[in-house]
Amino acid sequence: MSNSSSSKKHGQDQPELSGPTPKSHRAKMGKSEDTDKKNLGKKLKDVEISIPIVYGNIAFWLGKKASEYQSHKWTVYVRGASNEDLGAIVKRAVFQLHSSFNNPTRVVESPPFELSEAGWGEFEIVITLYFHSDVCDKPLNLYHHLKLYPEDENSSMSTKKPVVVEFYDEIVFPDPSEAFLSRVQNHPAVNVPRLPPGVTLPPPIPVEDASKRRKGDTKDHPLSQWFTNFSEADELLQLAAARQQVQAHIAKLRRQISLIDGQHHQHFKSSSDQ
C-alpha cells in the first residue's frame, strides 16, 4: 500500500495509488496556452503536484457510559492516503465545529491532523488546510458531514465496532513553485509527475530533524485498523471495462448506420437482415 510516487510512468492497469500522468493525459493538460512561456524562473509549467488524502471520521458509541449529550466519541481527521506524513505540505488544519461546542474553531498545528471530541449530533465540519508558505498561500476547504449513527437503522450499535466514513481526494497544485517541487520531489506523500525534458531540479535540502518528521504519519495510528484502503485499481478496471463495452456498441451502431445509408441510396425493396 506504500505510495511510491517519484516520477514513474504508470499505465492504466497498474494498481498503484499514485497516478502520475501517462503521456496522453499530459497532452490534454493545458499545454496549449503556455508552451511558449516555459520559463523556469519561479514556477514550472505543465507540472502538477497532487497529494492523495483521505478525510473523514470514526465514531464509537459509548454504550453504557453514554450520557444524553455525549453518546459518541468521535475523531475527525485528514491523513495521507497511504498514511504518510502530511506535515511537509500542510502547515496547520482548522476544524470548524458546530457552534454548540466550546471553542468551535479548533486549530491543529502539527500532524497528525485530527480532532477528537464527544457528542451526540451529526453536523457539517469545515476543515481548512493551511499550507506552508512555499507551497501555497491560499487555504483549501474540505467539507465533511460527521457521521455517528450507522447507515442501517436496524443494526445495533456496538461499542467495539465504530462507524467509519472516509473519502478519498487529492489536493492538486497546478503550478507549483520550484522551491516546493525540489523540496518534496522524493516525499512519500506527494505525487510528482515526470518532469518535462531538460528540466532539472536542485537537490532537496536535507531535513534537520528526521525523527521529528516521522511522528506525523498515521501508519501506527491507534485507529489505523479502521482505515479504508483506497485503491484506484478496481475503479480503473471498472472504467476500462465500461469503456470497452461502449466502444464496441458504438462500432456496431456505426456499422448499422452506414448500412442503412447504403440501403437508402439503393431504394431498397425487400427487407433484409443486418
Q: CA 230, CA 168: separation in Å to the nearest integer?
A: 7
Q: CA 260, CA 262: separation in Å to the nearest integer?
A: 5
Q: CA 266, CA 226: separation in Å to the nearest integer?
A: 67
Closer to another protein by Cβ: residue 69 or 268:
268
Among 61, 173, 180, 227, binds another protein (CB under 8 A): 173
Q: How far is the CB of 253 from another protein (least distance, A)?
A: 4
Residue 274 found at the interface with another protein (CB under 8 A): yes
Bridge partners (DSSP) listed for residue 95: 106, 127
Closer to another protein by Cβ: residue 123 or 168:
168
Backbone angles phi, psi at 3, to 5 degrees: -95, 100
Q: How far is the CB of 26 from another protein (least distance, A)?
A: 10
Cell numbers describing residue 238: 471498472
* 77 SS3 class: strand
Among 3, 5, 21, 218, binds another protein (CB under 8 A): 21
| Size of the chain, expressed as the number of residues it contains | 274
Residue 92 found at the interface with another protein (CB under 8 A): no
Residue 254 found at the interface with another protein (CB under 8 A): yes
Backbone angles phi, psi at 190, to 5 degrees: -115, 140
Closest CA to 50 of 219, 135, 170, 168: 170
Bridge partners (DSSP) listed for residue 272: none
Residue 168 found at the interface with another protein (CB under 8 A): yes
Among 138, 203, 211, 220, binds another protein (CB under 8 A): 138
Q: How far is the CB of 21 from another protein (least distance, A)?
A: 6
Among 4, 7, 30, 126, binds another protein (CB under 8 A): 30
Per-residue contact string for residues 191-230; x = within reach of another protein by CB under 8 A: x--------------------------------------x
Map the footprint of another protein across residues 141-160, applying CB under 8 A: 142
